[in-house]
Structure 1
């Protein structure tokens, strides 16, 4: 029999559980069922037109060249973007954590401001900055005698150009996370390392990194998931071009679902993307445990 204390506990958590069921569990189950059907614009008008097709959506997806191009682009975004974003934000956090840096609150606000700025507005602004003829970046290049670059119109530079924008956009968020955990590292550890003759780099490797390892893992998981779900940036800046060089998996899912109205196929893309993110996260956790075990 449930005690009064247990009933009170269930009473407190039930609103959250109901919200999770309504806004997460039910939509996920519905999407899974949708991915096993041929739900399209005709079924949207009349559910009688919807048929159960099993795994056909997944089979067609895995034989679609555009899907593999999107997966390749997404992997490139993640492989290049995650280390760059984490490295830049960690370096900034270490610098701003030093007591010798003046105006630290001002620098923190400046670095964090892009993260809370509307993504579409900043993407449009960067489009102007990267413009081939009128952009500030190309104006600087031509001023020093270098040729202008078609940043968003060349398949070789479109991914790096978007990556720079994405890293700039999320840079401040990761920096604040690292800054918060750096302030919890005891000064005694750094003082002991200095007494032992360790320089700045040695103190960073042997004191800072082990102390922030759990947070570093958390930020890396969040960053990988974020880069695998890139959509708004290529949608606003390049519309997936040029030559489909910036089509991501999420962009491909959007076109399947809301351009061609193949909602069953789009749901299949969503679950394949989930499996990819889940697999990468499991690998990250396994590597983290192994390195942690080797360290101990």
Structure 2
């Protein structure tokens, strides 16, 4: 039964709770957000044109095959072709070798250098930091060309130095294993300083009270590093490891300039193979399938690394 109420001399029927009226502050906040949306629109449009649209087109293109100017829908045939292509397996093997050897080596060097540069007794820290970080600001092609000249079999600076030490010259870029060593060395030289700066920032964010408490408890340098520094650096190490893994899987510039993927495909990586398939063989459908295979592989490896290295609750 409906209850009748009298309010200011009028009968009002209570039909239920009244809908809340928007406050003036809420309307004002929404009004203030509109210019921000307009300012973000150009960036969103550029993102859609140069990222989202090519991404969607490449995915669609991976289901088609072009031959003789005729494009045919082939479904998942391009992805099935990946499992039968020996060069795909070779490129993944090379990328896996670089990932297993180069990434831990580089992260270990970066942690060691960052820990050294974080010591209070070290003088000229600014100069050492600059020297360590300088390789990170050189262009990829330029430093790869320099390494190619230095590693030349005849007249290269590295072989000249080995000759002064009484060692025989090494055919760095024409031997399968030495080419891999040269490539790993070049990448490590280029990116160690970059990761060192990130890790150094993480070290400087560790509270000094933790070091003082460890010193009072009688912890040595190794115990302090193991039980304080490493746990506090876990988020930074996760970030540097995941980004370095992605970089190793997407390696292109260094091996393209140094070896061109040789000798005997010893330094062929998935992105370099994608380039050869797409821009030398003009097989855009298969190149798109390689690209999406690499995207899936990178996502899976990054997720596994994050799960293994995440901080335990």
Question: Which has the larger share of strand?
Answer: 2
Deviation at 1:39, TM superposition (A): 3.7
Which residue number in structure 2 is paired with residue 269 of structure 1? 290
Secondary structure of 1:38's partner? Answer: strand
Which residue number in structure 1 is paired with residue 158 of structure 2? 137
Aligned mate of 1:31, from 58, 63, 67:
58
Aligned mate of 2:217, from 181, 196, 201:
196
Deviation at 1:24, TM superposition (A): 1.5
Give distance in 2, aligned partners of 1:250 and 1:12: 35
Which residue number in structure 2 is paired with residue 146 of structure 1? 167
Give distance in 2, aligned partners of 1:15 and 1:248: 35
Instruction: Summarize deviations over 1:37-68 as a string: whole Å, max 9, x none.
Output: 1146x54xxxxx22211111111122011111
Instruction: Summarize deviations over 1:218-257 as a string: whole Å, max 9, x none.
Output: 1111000000001111110001111110000001000000
Deviation at 1:27, TM superposition (A): 1.1
Indicate whether 1:257 and 2:278 are aligned: yes
Give distance in 2, aligned partners of 1:31 and 1:137: 43
Which residue number in structure 1 is paired with residue 141 of structure 2? 120
Deviation at 1:212, TM superposition (A): 1.2
Which residue number in structure 1 is paired with residue 10 of structure 2? none
Indicate whether 1:227 and 2:233 are aligned: no
Deviation at 1:6, TM superposition (A): 5.1
TM-score computed with the length of structure 1 as normaliser: 0.91
Give distance in 1, aligned partners of 2:33 and 2:120: 49
Aligned mate of 1:62, from 83, 87, 100:
83
After TM superposition, the structure 1 stretch with the greater mean CA deviation from structure 2, 6-15 or 269-278, is 6-15
Cα distance change, pair 103–241 in 1 and its aligned pair in 2 (3 A): same
Q: Which has the higher contact order (CA 8 A, sep 6+)?
A: 1
Q: Displaced runs of 4+ in structure 1, greater than 3 A?
A: 5-16
Matched pairs, number: 286
Secondary structure of 2:64's partner? Answer: coil
TM-score computed with the length of structure 2 as normaliser: 0.87
Give distance in 2, aligned partners of 1:250 and 1:75: 13
Deviation at 1:259, TM superposition (A): 0.6
Give distance in 2, aligned partners of 1:9 and 1:129: 52
Give distance in 2, aligned partners of 1:238 and 1:61: 24
Indicate whether 1:51 and 2:72 are aligned: yes
Give distance in 2, aligned partners of 1:135 and 1:200: 42
Flag the structure with larger Rg: 2
Instruction: Summarize deviations over 1:122-148 as a string: whole Å, max 9, x none.
Output: 111111221222122222222222222
Secondary structure of 1:254's partner? Answer: helix
Instruction: Summarize deviations over 1:136-178 as a string: whole Å, max 9, x none.
Output: 2222222222222111111121111100100101111111111
Deviation at 1:20, TM superposition (A): 2.2
Aligned mate of 1:104, from 107, 110, 125:
125
Secondary structure of 2:72's partner? Answer: coil
Give distance in 2, aligned partners of 1:255 and 1:168: 27
